[in-house]
Amino acid sequence: MNQFTVNSGTLYVVSTPIGNLFDITQRAIDVLSQVDVIACEDTRHTNKLLTAFNIKNKTMSLHDHNERQRQEQIANMLQQGQSIALVSDAGTPLISDPGFHIVRHLRRENLAVVPVPGACAAIAALSVSGLATDRFSFEGFLPSKSTARQSVLAKLAEESRTMVFYDAPRRAIDTVADIVSQLGGARQIVIARELTKTFETVHADSAENVLAWLQQDANQLKGEMVLIIEGKPRDPDAIPPEAIATLKLLVAEMKPKKACAIAAEIHGVKKNALYQFALDMK
């Protein structure tokens, strides 16, 4: 297999391991070895990874506090023909990590931005969670303060998609307690901790049982954590909002029975349920 060759004037968004160094891709190694500069969230942290693979390329810092100041500098470097790799401390850059402002600015300047896919804690956790993966939402970090966290959870109480969060294990007990209070103790959740590392743990149960498990084992309050919450189960007899909207438009133009038949055909819902709704509208 030939080595991947980087292009000049290109920013490579490079995913790096979230723990196990063997999860780095060969393409990531090739890119990091060849680019002119590696932009790092924390140069000290990234240098440990580079040392492990005998990569000695120049690094520069790019974090939350200097990202906006760096965007013109990076754009100028690319325009001059340099190649740059963007990495975060672990996983896929921009996913609750710095880089959004840089990438948006470069896109607006019509400069090349290329993904180098790899590890992502959110997707890794979701893939082994046992919860529905056909529809999910990534919600980032929950607020550290309980009042704000409860407010966020309350707003997500009706969400039917699986929800993926990052959270600090040290506040996991408080977070799960808030889930119990806002979403109910029966809601299924998954704690995925220290993924790909020595003490990797994936624990799935009801929120109230997970809370008891955390309270009994202080070791689960260490490391890095992904929290996944089951979406609210759908009522199979509920009429989708889009079907109701269609029905209201049709009823204004034709008899309810015909309107219900057409709306049911369009949205794949029960005609009788729509007809009852149409009667209730009168």
- Euclidean distance between CA atoms 89 and 11, whole angstroms: 17
pLDDT at 271 over 90: no
Give residue 198's identity as a one-letter amino acid code: T
How many alpha carbons lie under 13 Å from residue 267 in its C-beta half-sphere?
A: 20
Asked if residue 91 is part of any domain, the answer here is yes
- Euclidean distance between CA atoms 275 and 202, whole angstroms: 46
Q: Of 229, 254, 272, which one is at a domain's C-terminal end?
A: 229
- Euclidean distance between CA atoms 151 and 81, whole angstroms: 48
Residues 195 and 225 in one domain: yes
Greatest alpha-carbon pair distance for the chain in Å reads 75
Residues 86 and 134 in one domain: no
Q: Of 88, 103, 119, which one is at a domain's C-terminal end?
A: 119
* Whole-number pLDDT of residue 67: 87
Residues 135 and 179 in one domain: yes
Give residue 64's identity as a one-letter amino acid code: D
Sort 200 into a burial class: Cβ within 10 Å, 0-12 / 13-18 / 19+. middle
pLDDT at 273 over 90: no
pLDDT digits (tens, 9 = 90+) for 74-129: 999 999 999 999 999 999 999 999 999 999 999 999 999 999 999 999 999 999 99
Asked if residue 5 is part of any domain, the answer here is no
pLDDT digits (tens, 9 = 90+) for 7-17: 999 999 999 99
For residue 16, the 8-state DSSP code is B
Instruction: Out of 137-151, 175-189, 231-245, pick the least confident.
Output: 231-245
Indicate the average pLDDT of the chain.
93
Structural domain count of the chain: 3
Q: Of 119, 140, 171, which one is at a domain's C-terminal end?
A: 119
Asked if residue 179 is part of any domain, the answer here is yes
Asked if residue 234 is part of any domain, the answer here is no
Q: Residue 277: give the domain boundaries.
A: 241-281
Residues 76 and 36 in one domain: yes
* Whole-number pLDDT of residue 154: 96
Instruction: Out of 89-98, 223-232, 273-282, pick the least confident.
Output: 273-282
Asked if residue 1 is part of any domain, the answer here is no
Residues 149 and 187 in one domain: yes
Asked if residue 69 is part of any domain, the answer here is yes
Q: Average pLDDT, stretch 199-224?
A: 95
CB 123 within 8 A of CB 74: no
- CATH number, domain at 190? 3.30.950.10
* Whole-number pLDDT of residue 235: 67
pLDDT band at 199 (very low <50, low <70, confident <90, very high): very high
pLDDT band at 268 (very low <50, low <70, confident <90, very high): confident
Give residue 62's identity as a one-letter amino acid code: L
- CATH number, domain at 44? 3.40.1010.10
Residues 153 and 185 in one domain: yes
Residues 206 and 276 in one domain: no
Asked if residue 202 is part of any domain, the answer here is yes
Residues 256 and 222 in one domain: no
Look up residue 221 and give its two tokens: 């309050």
For residue 177, the 8-state DSSP code is H
Any residues with CB less than 8 A from the CB of 245 and at least 6 apart, and which?
none
End-to-end CA distance of the chain: 70
CB 37 within 8 A of CB 59: yes
CB 116 within 8 A of CB 12: yes
H/E segment holding residue 87:
strand 84-87
* Whole-number pLDDT of residue 214: 96
pLDDT band at 237 (very low <50, low <70, confident <90, very high): low
Q: Average pLDDT, stretch 253-265?
A: 87
Residues 133 and 214 in one domain: yes
- Euclidean distance between CA atoms 120 and 173, whole angstroms: 24
Residues 127 and 218 in one domain: yes
Instruction: Out of 10-19, 199-208, 212-221, 253-262, pick the least confident.
Output: 253-262
CA of 32: how far to CAs of 14, 39, 189, 277, in Å?
A: 8, 10, 37, 60
- Following CA atoms 211, 217, 220, 221 in sequence, which dihedral angle do they give, to the nearest 10 degrees? 80
- Euclidean distance between CA atoms 122 and 181, whole angstroms: 24
Look up residue 164 and give its two tokens: 């993926």
- Euclidean distance between CA atoms 6 and 78, whole angstroms: 13
